[in-house]
Amino acid sequence: MIVRRPVYFVGSLCLIILAGFLAGLVFFLLLPKGAAVAATGLLILSAASFAGAVLCLARALGG
């Protein structure tokens, strides 16, 4: 794997870490109020962050 743009590569890693943190935070804050709400928030955060990370990774690899 040749990283042509290190800024985007680091950005994608940061997005993945941030997504995990935010998903965990939403999960723990909303779990007492209802598992369905927590699961929905977790799913939305995960999908959005994964899409952003994939785009950044594609840019980093020169795609």
Residue 41 lies in a domain: yes
Q: Given this model, what pLDDT does residue 3 score?
A: 62
Residues of the chain with pLDDT under 70: 1-3, 30-34, 38, 63
Residue 26 domain flag: yes
**How many structural domains does the chain have?**
1
In a domain, 49, yes or no: yes
pLDDT at 63: 57
3-class DSSP state of 40? helix
Tens digits of residue pLDDT in 10-21: 777 777 777 777
Cα 14 from Cα 38, distance rounded (Å): 23
Any domain includes 39: yes
What range defines the domain where residue 24 resides? 6-60
Q: Is residue 27 in some structural domain? A: yes
**Residue (of 55, 47, 56, 53) closest to 23 by Cα position:** 47
- Residue 36 one-letter amino acid: A
Q: Is 1 a domain residue? A: no
